[in-house]
Structure 1
């Protein structure tokens, strides 16, 4: 089975998304090769791993991430909303996640921004990636084209990818113009012909968010290069695991975009 499993915000079906527990649970599954996380900046410029622009849904706190300091966010409980057994979970910094997964998982890091919400997000994220010497192990993705263009301007070697939940006719041309080597696309907008065109042009497609076996099998039939991003790595395992017999551990493979 060649369609790689990407744990969406960690093993988010079972643990609070984007937390150390969710990440560790994903890492505990030997077939999980990649993980998708979301990164924003605190008021004092610390890259933190959280999805929503507000902390309200996934923590015990209130307010927008950009208006809160790292220490304020650190004091919030980021686990009890998912279950009492996760009480005490914290919002992790990007540093903590990079340190945790280095040498084991590759990362799809979504630059969670819109317009000029975070003027220094790209610099801050790239700085931490370089500090951990993980440039070859990550791809930076975003719904915001400006963020991807800026990341490429800061470091031409970084792999970048557009996130989109649509399939406009000019999408392939846009990706080439932006020098993207990756596309994160809502799975219902992907078909075999487009997947083939992407691969032929050196662009890796990732389908999101796919939690049922039927859709996973459909994507696998389209093209073996399609990465499957899921909240349910266990469903991916039940669907495909019997076909996996890698000669080299996943975390030791060299990845190309």
Structure 2
């Protein structure tokens, strides 16, 4: 069984996404070997783990992540929206997450940016990863081609991955242009022909976001080493680890 379980923003089916609570729940499952998370920059340049460009959906704060300093962001509640049990959960810094995951989980770190939204994001993330000695445990992914190019310019040893969700276009050509060896793709866009082509070119595939056992089995039948990114790693366990 090679279809690795990737916890999407931690165990986000049970805990608030991209929080230490969600990460700890994912870590408690021995078969979770990878985790996907999202990183942006505060106004004062601290890499933080949050998906939306806005604070409104997952915290009691308002406005854009890029307009808030880290000190103020730490005061926000990022858990109550998910349930009373998570009241007071904070937005973690990337450094906190790396410290917890080091030696325990590989990380798919999505650089959440577009154009010049976050100048210096790539460098800040790469310096943190390198300081923890985790370069070989991390792949840096993005929708933004410029971000992936900047990573390679700063340090070509970092593994990079393209996030692809277009109905049109050829991801294989784009991967080659960007020197990416990893493709993060919506499971609905993945088919046996594309999976075979990518495998032949040495590209690692991660399919997202797969929360139903039926779809997990379909992907496993398509190719034995497609990584399955899910909000529900417990369903992955029930699907593939049943005796």
Q: Give the TM-score, by structure 2 length.
A: 0.98
Offset of residue 173 of structure 1? 1.2
Q: Distance in 2 between matches of 1:187 and 1:4?
A: 14
The residue aligned with 1:62 is: 62
Match of 1:242, SS state, is coil
Match of 2:22, SS state, is helix
The residue aligned with 1:140 is: 140
The residue aligned with 2:179 is: 179
CA RMSD of aligned residues (A): 0.9
Asked if 1 retains the 8 angstrom alpha-carbon contact of 2:8 and 2:231, the reply is yes
Correspondences of 1:23-172 after superposition (within 5 Å): 23-172=23-172
Offset of residue 169 of structure 1? 4.2
User: How big is each residue's C-alpha offset from its partner over 1:185-222, in whole Å with a ceiling of 9 and x where there is no partner?
Assistant: 00011011211111111110110000000000000000
Residues 1:242 and 2:242 aligned together: yes
Q: Distance in 1 between matches of 2:83 and 2:59?
A: 12
Is there any run of 5+ residues in structure 2 with no aligned partner, and where? none
Residues 1:12 and 2:12 aligned together: yes
Q: Aligned residue pairs: how many?
A: 243
Match of 1:45, SS state, is coil
User: How big is each residue's C-alpha offset from its partner over 1:12-63, in whole Å with a ceiling of 9 and x where there is no partner?
Assistant: 0000000000000000000001000000000000000000001111111111
Match of 1:55, SS state, is coil
Offset of residue 152 of structure 1? 0.8
Q: Distance in 2 between matches of 1:135 and 1:199?
A: 23
Offset of residue 170 of structure 1? 2.5
Q: Distance in 2 between matches of 1:14 and 1:242?
A: 21
Offset of residue 171 of structure 1? 1.6
Offset of residue 158 of structure 1? 0.5
Q: Give the TM-score, by structure 1 length.
A: 0.93
Asked if 1 retains the 8 angstrom alpha-carbon contact of 2:164 and 2:171, the reply is no
Is there any run of 5+ residues in structure 1 with no aligned partner, and where? 244-257
Q: Distance in 2 between matches of 1:148 and 1:28?
A: 32
Offset of residue 145 of structure 1? 0.7
Offset of residue 166 of structure 1? 2.3
Moved more, 14-23 or 190-199: 190-199
Task: Find runs of 4+ consecutive structure 1 residues off by over 3 angstroms.
Answer: none
Asked if 1 retains the 8 angstrom alpha-carbon contact of 2:11 and 2:17, the reply is yes
The residue aligned with 1:252 is: none
Asked if 1 retains the 8 angstrom alpha-carbon contact of 2:7 and 2:231, the reply is yes
